[in-house]
Amino acid sequence: MAGFRISKRRIFESNTLFDTRRGALRRTGRLLRVRQAGAHHVVTYKGAETAGKFKDREELELDIADSHKLTVILSRLDFVARFRYEKYRTEYQRPRETGVAMLDETPIGVYLELEGSGAWIDHTTHLLGFSESDYITTSYYGLYIDYCRAHRLQPADMTWNAVNGRAPSC
C-alpha cells in the first residue's frame, strides 16, 4: 500500500519501563526502557517531550547482550520496574526514503507509528488516507490508562494475558 514494503518482519517485543521508587523520571517526562525483541535487547533513554503536533524527544539507545543483568544493575541503583507492555511490531519503508511506518499490535488495539521528519509524516499521513486529527502523541502507558478507564479495568501491565488472556496468532 502506498509503495511501502516490509523492512523488518513482525516480531514480539516485551518492554519494561523503569523509574525510581519516587517516580523521578515520570515526573519530569523522561523514560528508561529495557526492550527485548526476539534475541535483540536494547536499553533506551527518552528525554522530556517538546510541545507540538508531533512527538519529539531526545532518544538514546544502546544494544545490550543481557537484559536480565541490566535489570539487576538497575535494581542495585534503586530503579524498579514500573510498567510492562507487549506488542508485535512490523516495520515498513518506501524505497529511497528515511521515514519508517511501524504497525504495532498491542493488547489494547492496533496502532500505526510514523517516524521521520514532520513533512514526511504529514505527507505519508495524507497518502495513507488519514488526517492530522488522527494524530496520537500519547505514550502506550497513557493509552493503556485511558483504555482501563473506558473498560473499568484496574491498571496493571499492558500484556496479552493481563488485558485479554491471549496473544494474537503469529
Profile the chain (170 residues) by mean pLDDT over runs of 10 residues: 91 96 94 94 93 87 92 94 97 94 97 94 94 91 95 93 63
Task: Compute the chain's Rg from CA coordinates.
Answer: 17
Strand extents, DSSP E, 21-168: 31-37, 40-46, 59-64, 79-93, 100-106, 109-115
Predicted structure pTM score: 0.89
Question: Please, is 158 exposed, middle or buried when counting C-beta atoms within 10 Å of its C-beta (0-12, 13-18, 19+)?
Answer: buried
5-163: CATH topology: Hypothetical Protein Pfu-838710-001 (2.40.320)
